[in-house]
Every structure is written in C-alpha cells, then in structure tokens.
Amino acid sequence: MTDSTVPTASRFWPARVVEWGLSLCVIAGIVWVAASFVKTGYLPQPFIYDTNDTFMDWFNTAYWTHHSGAYSVWRTVYPPLSFAFLKLTTIGACYRDSPFWARDCDWLSKAWIMGFFVLNLLLVARSYRADDPATAPPRTIAMAIGLPMLFALERGNLILPCFTAFALAYGRLLKQAWIQWTAVALTVNFKPYLILAIAPYLVRRRWRWLEGCAFAILGVYLIAYVATGAGTPMELYDNTRNWVQVVGAMFWGDIFYSTSFATLSAAMKEPIPLLIYLDSKIVDLVATGLPVLVHGGQAVVGLVFLASAFRPYVLSHARTGALAMAFILTTQSPGGYSEVFLLFLVFFERAAGPARITALVCAYLLCIPFDYILVTISQGISHSWLSHRSVYFTFGLSVGQFVRPALILLIEYSLAFASLVTLFGGVARAPTAASVMAPALQ
C-alpha cells in the first residue's frame, strides 16, 4: 500500500464536518477583518502595519520596470522575469512620477492583481475537485480566500501570478510534460526558492523531468534577461547578500508575519525594544530552545528524503513537495504569503491517521485571518489607501507571531512522521505508466 493509495477517511461525514467547521472559521475570520476595517478604516493585524502600502509590492517593482537601476540602485533580488512580466501588464505612462502616483493611475495593474486572485481561486477549486470532490469545497475556501492568499492580494505581491504557475505545475491539471516544465520554470524565475519544489523529481530519479525543468528554467531566464537587459547571476548574488544584511536589521518587519522561528530567535538575541515586552524566561526559551526544534525538523525531513531515495514511488508527489516547502519556510521566512505553496500541497492530504489530520488542521488554522495583539508596539495616525482617510492604527507583538511558525513546524513534523511510517511500514510498488509519464499526478 502506498502513500497515495491509503483509503481516505475524508469521505466519511465526521471528517467532512470537521473540515467544513474549520472552513467556516476561515469565513468568520474574513467577516472579522471586514468588520474591523469598517470600524477603523484599515486592515487589522496580521495584515501589513503600513496602512498606506496596499498593493505596493506590485507598484514598487513596476516602477523600476520603467526606470533604470532596478539592480544597481534599488538592489532588487527579483530575477528578470518579474520585470519582463510587469512590462507587459502595466501602463508605462503612469510611472513617470512615483510608484504611489502610479498606483492611482495604473488601472490595468489593479485589474491584473484581482484577475490573478480570481484565477487562482478557480485553479485551486479545479485541482482539489480532481483530487477529492468530497473535501474540495472547504479546502478551496481555506486555500483560495484564507489569510496567506488575502495577504498576497493586499500586498499585490508577484506571488499571485507565481502561484498561478505553481498550481498549474503541481495541481494535477496538466498532462503535457513540456507545459508542466514551463510552469515550473515560471515559478522558479518568479521565486527562486521554489527550486526545492522539484525535489520529488529528484527523489524519484526522474532525470528526464529534471533535465526538462532545468532547460525550461534556463530558457525562461534567458528570454526575460534579453527582454529586460539586466539581472545577471552576479547581480542577483550580490543583491541577495545585501538583502540579507539589510533585512537582518529590520527585526519588526521580519517577525511581523513570519513563517519561521528563526527570525524570532534572531530578534531575541538583539538589544532591541522588542525585548522589554517579554519575560527573560521567554527570551531564553525562544533564543535557545526553538532552534533545536527547527533543526530537528530539518533533520527529520532530510531522513525522509534519504529513505525516499531508496523507495522513490512510495510517497506522493504532493507529500514530498510539501515537505520541501516546509523545510524552506521553517528555515527562513520568505514572507507570510509564501505559505500558499505549502498549504496548497498539504490540502491534497487525506484525512486519515493522526499525523495527517494534524497537518490538515494546522493548515486550516493558518488560513484563519485573525490575530490578537498582546503588547502594542506601534500606534499613531496615518493615511489608509483602502479607506482613503486618516486612521488611528495599532499594531504590536501578537499571538499569531508565535502560533503561525509553530503550526508550520508542526506540519513539518507531522508529515515527516507520516512519511517515515509509510516508508518503513508500506510495500513499495513498481513504477506505473502514469507515474513515468506524469509524475506530478501521483
């Protein structure tokens, strides 16, 4: 019996009731956000603490698409695909002044942002329905309109078109190999850390697929580089080193919506005002104890991949990919919206067995757009672009800043444990025609 053929408990009513209940919690969280916005004029925590910065991930990047110096002045770490893409999807005349002025002028960009959000919802629904129609509705609700996707929408982050390619690459919708390779290439050229998402191909020793992905990734990069005329590997390397140094000093922004305890542990070691709000015992626990849990999770995932190399067709593609994504997110935080990649794969799991059920419950909880501020750190008056008025904002150290990294870590341990049980307790199967021709469907 393989990981992908374990009988599913999700078809039985208790599991369906629980999943629907959790999806209703996601909807309740959305209602809470809407009510808070109506009352205060800005989106509450965990949404970004700059109330005038909505959509600016998109428009800041687009500004440098239409001006020279993206790599030399702005020091971006984005590969050239981001700029080539935005050159096609923005109104260039709107970027003569500032990115904030462009945000009010460039209606086409806002249409693309909303369009990708809706398209992703449809792709998520189709993917989950193809996998298990019984659990598709609640999982679609949580995944497509839950916190990570809403956070990406509010930021206008290029993770939105990147996720479109990710869903096509790993969502069991495509049949042709070359189209899947192209989709994989787009994801990596948007977000380079997604290179680890092709780990299942390596584990299964699908050398032809790895070769196809490699050529596609290189091809997309070269096309984008020619289109933009900038973004050499050396520029990306130097800017990444600079980004690590700069972000390393931005502790509040780094921990505000983090996926990893690594950022919180680093903040606890620095003499910053954040520490005056915490008991010294909590500081010691976070700074010394949590890294052990993080490294332990990495070690267990490494063991799973090592065992999978000897039994390559036991674990599902989604499981292996989810473990790779969990490894990334617990090691360092690429931003809260990056959870969409992990959660998309986790929601392919069957609600069978305590470990898998734990992972699914954690995934639902991560999708609930709610937080509770423990200690106020930042407050004042600012302009809210969404409500077009001055607002009095309050943000601070919150429950979610501890809980969300813990839930991702728990997903990592749960799926790793379930994988080890399957690898050492299951019976390996020979490759089938479907697994050879379309491994992403397995």
- Higher pLDDT, residue 264 or 54: 54
- The owner of tokens 């949590």 is 290
Provide the β-strand partners of residue 375. 397
Mean pLDDT estimate for the chain: 87
Enumerate residues 6+ apart whose C-beta is below 8 A from 74.
64
Q: What is the mean pLDDT of residues 186-213?
A: 91
CA distance 270 to 281: 15
Q: DSSP secondary-structure letter at 52?
A: T
CA distance 248 to 16: 43
What are the tokens at 196?
């680890």
Q: Using DSSP bridges, classify how beta strands 373-384 and 389-398 pair: parallel, antiparallel or unpaired.
A: antiparallel
Q: Hey, is 191 helix, strand or coil?
A: coil
What phi, psi does 229 have (nearest 5°)? 75, 20
pLDDT digits (tens, 9 = 90+) for 219-268: 999 999 999 999 999 999 888 887 766 655 556 777 889 898 877 776 66
Confidence of residue 4 (pLDDT cuts 50, 70, 90): very low
User: Is 110's pLDDT higher than 80?
Assistant: yes
User: Is 384's pLDDT higher than 50?
Assistant: yes
CA distance 272 to 278: 11
User: Is 160's pLDDT higher than 50?
Assistant: yes
pLDDT digits (tens, 9 = 90+) for 144-158: 999 999 999 999 999
Burial 277-310 (b: 16+ CB within 10 A, else e): eeeeeebeebeeebeebbeebbebbeebbebbee
Q: Hey, is 359 helix, strand or coil?
A: helix
8 Å CB contact between 342 and 325: yes
The pLDDT value given to residue 358? 96
CA distance 174 to 97: 42
- Dihedral sign computed on CA atoms, order 412, 415, 421, 426: negative
CA distance 105 to 182: 33
CA distance 213 to 439: 13
What are the tokens at 274?
């954040």
What phi, psi does 126 have (nearest 5°)? -65, -40
CA distance 427 to 5: 11
pTM: 0.91
User: Is 367's pLDDT higher than 80?
Assistant: yes
Q: What is the mean pLDDT of residues 86-111?
A: 95
SS (H, E, C) 93-134: HHHCCCHHHHHHHCHHHHHHHHHHHHHHHHHHHHHHHHHCCC
Q: What is the mean pLDDT of residues 407-430?
A: 84
Checking phi first, is residue 96 left (phi over 0); if not, alpha (psi -120 to 50) or beta? alpha
Whether the upstream peptide bond of residue 46 has omega within 30° of 0, thus cis, is yes
Q: DSSP secondary-structure letter at 271?
A: -
CA distance 381 to 392: 4
The pLDDT value given to residue 250? 59
User: Is 426's pLDDT higher than 70?
Assistant: no
8 Å CB contact between 91 and 106: yes
Q: What is the mean pLDDT of residues 362-366?
A: 98
CA distance 3 to 212: 26
Burial 374-402 (b: 16+ CB within 10 A, else e): eeebeeeebebbbeeeebebbbbbbebbb
